[in-house]
Structure 1
Amino acid sequence: MLDIKKIVVPVDLNKNTQKLVDYALTIAKPFDAEVALFHAVEFMTMGEMALGNPNYDDMNTTHKNNAQKTLSEIVTIASTKCRKCTSEVVIGDIVDEILAYTKREDGNMIIIGTHGKRGFERILLGSVAERVLKNAHCPVLVMNPYK
């Protein structure tokens, strides 16, 4: 049987993040597992550059700081329900950063949310959950927090 010690939970900090975190905490409890919440700030795009945001470093730093503040608040609440709850925010490619963090932190499982996008919308936007599922070194549990 898989010995689950650390569950990595990538979050996008949208309105359904708390549902995903609560689900992960429920899964972690019987294993007495640590929960590591993770958020990756995507690099600025060419479209954002065209909108007149020339200072990428400032924009990325501001977004990262805001994400850290929000994630810190979530961790404070989650810590009352979990043996150990940590968080990290990085800047980079979302999928690459999730996979690298999980390996670096010895994650035994990933619990990730999906938006349930289909068809043309999925082709345009891609699917972070699907790419993580295909490339992860450990089991991945995908949860739809919208239902």
Structure 2
Amino acid sequence: MAEYKTLLFATDFSEGASKAADHARSLATLCKARLHLVHVITELSDKRRRRLPAEVVNTFVREVETHALEDMHAFCSKFFADAAEAGYQVTSEVVIGSGFQEILKQAETVGADLIVMGTHGRTGIEKVLVGSTAERVVRNATVPVLTVRE
């Protein structure tokens, strides 16, 4: 029987992430597992970065990171405030990088037994143009992935 001791919950703070948070909370409660939340700030491509002065990029990154940390705190307070009472531990982290690569890296770093994440449910040309972080995580993960459709 599968045993979940550490769950990684990847969030972008969207409606889909809110629905996935319910599943992550339920699993963490049932398994008494550690729940590690991660939010990935997608970095600017080198091409876009070269067009801006370094100090502008650095200021922008600091601002985005500050807001992401505030959003993470609010998200944790909203969805996981009762973690200690429910018998599970919550940790969180905001990282900068490629969405799916950072999620997989975090899963390995924290020793996740399961990745939980929301999906936007894009189809057709929108999926081709925008891509799907969830799909890439599912294809490349070495542990099971639970996706919750928005």
User: Is TM-score (shorter-chain normalized) higher than 0.5?
Assistant: yes
The answer on 1:65 being equivalent to 2:66 is yes
Q: How many Å apart are 1:13 and its aligned residue?
A: 1.5
Tell me which amino acid in the other structure corresponds to 1:28. Answer: A
**How do 1:1-147 and structure 2 match up within 5 A?**
1-45=1-45, 46=47, 55-77=56-78, 78-81=80-83, 82=86, 83-144=88-149, 146=150
Structure number with the bigger relative contact order (C-alpha 8 A, sep ≥ 6) is 2
Report which stretch shifted further, 129-138 or 6-15.
Answer: 6-15
Provide the C-alpha distance between the structure 1 equivalents of 2:60 and 2:50, rounded to a whole number of angstroms: 11
Is this contact kept in 2: 1:64–1:89, CA < 8 A?
Answer: yes
Quote the Cα distance in structure 1 between the aligned partners of 2:37 and 2:120.
Answer: 18
Task: Give 1:141 deviation, angstroms.
Answer: 0.6
What TM-score does the superposition give when structure 1 sets the normalisation length?
Answer: 0.88
Give the deviation of 1:62 after TM superposition. 1.1
Bigger drift between 102-111 and 56-65 goes to 56-65
How far apart are 1:16 and its partner, in Å?
4.1
**Take 2:16 and 2:53, find their aligned partners in 1: how far apart are those partners?**
29
Compute the displacement of 1:76 (Å).
Answer: 2.8
TM-score where L is the length of structure 2: 0.86
1-structure distance, mates of 2:108, 2:76: 21
Superposed CA RMSD in Å reads 2.0
Report deviation, 1:108.
0.5
How many residue pairs were aligned? 144
Consecutive unaligned residues in structure 1, runs of 5 or more: none
**Between the two proteins, what is the percent identity of the paired residues?**
28
